[in-house]
Amino acid sequence: MRYIISIGLLLAVGAVFVLSCIKYKDTKATPDPRLTNPYCNDPTAVNYNWGFPGTPDNSVCFYPTDVFNGTWEYHDSVFVQPSGLFIYADSFVMTITKLSKTEMAVSGFCSNGGVLKLTAGLLFIATVDTTVGDSLLNATVNADEGQYFCTSADTVNGYFKKDIISDSIMSIVLTVNSDTGVISTHIGTAYKK
């Protein structure tokens, strides 16, 4: 009797081993009729996977520069550094133009028509592109990284931060290094028009 049980167990283990080696065949998925919500399936978009699960529809995508694009009324306060002494306040209209999904141009800061170039990221922050002072050759001529601001002697760097909750508010912090050695900080809020 003992041998019969041992042989039965050995056959059962062998059968399980043979069945475990059979390749699994996946069945075709059936669409779920409840998943009708369109969502963005582009990883470069700000709203990537918002509304998932659902059906992928990239026509609902919006990109980093889309949240900044438009006309803004900017209220600026300028402080001299490093003391933080308030110099003046100003208000003006600026226009942000989308150049690509991440690149944008800002006009309105300079009376001579100069344009700032910024790169926008997925976290609602756009930083001023560095076009001067970013190489050893430029660093010897101009040690201040950033890009030219209104004149070819001043450089600017900083960021624009879009409010995540309100579509119509943005904060801006810019540092301007002038050719005279004066460093000023522009801190302000912009409101979408």
The pLDDT score that the predictor gives to residue 80 is 95
d(CA 178, CA 163) in angstroms, rounded, equals 29
Domain boundaries, the chain: 26-62, 65-192
Is this model's pTM higher than 0.85 or not?
A: no
Angle at 95 (CA atoms; ends 101, 156), nearest 5 degrees: 85
65-192: CATH class: mainly beta
Q: What is the mean pLDDT of the chain?
A: 87
The pLDDT score that the predictor gives to residue 142 is 45
- 140-177 per-position pLDDT tens digit: 444 567 898 888 888 999 999 999 899 899 999 999 99
Of the pLDDT bands very low, low, confident and very high (cuts 50, 70, 90), residue 139 is: very low
The amino acid present at 2, given as its one-letter code, is R
